[in-house]
Amino acid sequence: MFTKILIVNRGEIACRIIGTCRRLGIRTVAVYSEADAQARHVRLADEAYCVGPAASRESYLRIESIIDAAKRSGAQAIHPGYGFLSENEAFAQACAEAGIVFVGPPVESIRAMGSKSAAKSLMERAKVPLVPGYHGDDQDPALLQKEADRIGYPVLIKASAGGGGKGMRVVNASADFAAALASCQREARASFGDDRVLIEKYLQQPRHIEIQVFADAQGNTISLHERDCSAQRRHQKVVEEAPAPGMSTQQREAMGRAACDAARAVGYVGAGTVEFIAEGHHDSGRSDFYFMEMNTRLQVEHPITEMITGLDLVEWQLRVAAGESLPLTQEQVPLNGHSIEVRVYAEEPEKGFLPSIGKLAYFSAPQTSAHVRLDSGVEQGDEITPHYDPMLAKLIVWDRTREAAIERMLGALAQLRVVGVGHNIAFLSKLIGHPLFREGRVDTGLIEREREALIPPPGELPAEVFEVAALAQLTFERDAASNEPPSPWTIADGWRINGAQSRRLSFASGEQNVQIDVRYAGKGYRIGSEPASVVRLSAQRLRIAIGDRRIDTDALRLGDQLHLFLREHQYVIDVLDPLMHAGESDEAQGGLTAPMPGKIIALLVEPGASIAKGDALLVMEAMKMELTVSAPSAGKLASYLCAVGEQVKEGSALVEITAE
């Protein structure tokens, strides 16, 4: 076994690999970009090396810098995690030439499966069922358009070297194909340095089922069962579970055999995942399945396989890379209970899942146990930057049945609390609790079809929320005053000359504006006719009593906002100060600003053209994704205030719009 390994990754997967290495007594070496100098994986590793600036292509993707760091540190092996260089054949070859073990499959296996087109051709020769499509080398746009027309719409354009939902577009009509192809190729070129694509028939309600395979250098190949990854948004997985709901033993064995055959066909060694797209009735226990791709690495969702098997897949990777045989045969692989994983992102679902950046002012996780696991690459106080994927953590639960696992996940999500960036926790709770998810009737289009139920428009908040906000605000004012020198002007006790001892506090949430009158009563308060009191239990925890109601809440003040965690909900309340914004103009600005930092990659409308509200005006690249920015109102596009290739800051003016 190795005594020191270097990890070519960041975030939660780097931290997760470090955890297994510590248990095995293996020293770890981290690499980091300048933007990640204070990142959690750097803090956890035994030693660390900076490999370049923030941009991935100048740091985490620089093969020569990674190999140099490995040599300087004396690492015997390199674990690539997932993403970045994990499926890069040139990197695996560079490791071999440097005499460093690559914890992954042979170069030939990566090459065979690295191109989606080549992999599908290989599977076609091996008689593995494929979705109708075009996987050829000729990338002439006219030919691609012709092939799409032949296949029949809707079609899916997919980056040949892609993954993680990037470089993928669904096209519903021939007239939309050219624009979608150009956008897909831009994103593929930026993410993978390769703009080749393949085209497939887009199945309307497919399930995404993948099989975890493992192989050793002695020729043994086994399946560690399946994972259902059908709950996706923008072709990116959001929720995964194992085993797949409704999967019969016969179907599981058939898919497992097909996956192992695919791995053997390319001489695979190590951990890999064979992904299938399946269709058919969910209650039948079987469905037709088609090979989609093979990921020649560890998957983001590998923890749910670990939960149902009791195995540590990273340990298996290290042992196989060190030349050991697989410790189990196919018949010995356990399958116990049910596990669900959700990906917690810094994003805003109500704004089209726009990534969010900022400082994690508060990050509180549920208590972990044999039933609940949190894999995270961040801690409270960390910065979420625009440079990398916005995933904060993976929350994983296990229980004896799927129904029990769903309830356990809902409870764990209610205890996961994030302040400082937008997040998808409420969205995940609604998805896990949705009747169709509970029934196991999940396909890749579920989130889009049920968007209104999963991301409902904001409604009016209960009066109790504002009462709690008022008492929390008074507590924050009192605590702030206690840290200042004694003075009648700094003590927020309601005293004023010839005035009653009461306060009127003003709050807002969306279109809702509420005033709460609080009267001081000895050491407590009165709200209306009811007595009220506040006791601070911890830095964030308040115990509030209003009449005969006792309410425990986590409360934080961030700028002009109160964040309240109350009865499994997070509320964000604006604290209004009538004097704070006096004299500010309400006049609307005739333009458009950047929703977050990013790079301008396309301008879509000619200056001087008439535009309607919602028209796409430009495309930005931010956090490894393309974001289309639309017109906030109708009018005339007077001019662009940015250029293609320009890096803009959040809030930068992008477009000037004038009235017709």
Q: What is the CA radius of gyration of the chain?
A: 27
Contacts of 582 (CB under 8 A, 6+ apart): none
- Give the torsion sign (CA, 395, 396, 401, 402): positive
Instruction: Reduce the DSSP state of residue 231 to 3 states and report it.
Output: strand
H or E element in which residue 108 lies:
helix 107-114
DSSP letter (8 states) at residue 146: H
CA–CA distance, 132 with 144 (Å, rounded to integer): 14
CA angle, residues 290, 293, 83, in degrees to nearest 5 = 150
Instruction: Find out whether the peptide bond into 243 is cis, omega within 30 degrees of 0.
Output: yes
657 and 634 Cβ atoms separated by less than 8 Å: no
- Give the torsion sign (CA, 585, 587, 592, 596): positive
From 207, 297, 408, 417, active-site residue: 297
Give the count of beta carbons closer than 10 Å to the beta carbon of residue 324.
Answer: 14
CA–CA distance, 57 with 47 (Å, rounded to integer): 22
CA 256 to chain CA centroid, nearest Å: 28
189 labelled catalytic: no
CA–CA distance, 373 with 359 (Å, rounded to integer): 23
H or E element in which residue 412 lies:
helix 402-415
555 and 536 Cβ atoms separated by less than 8 Å: no
Residues tagged active-site:
297
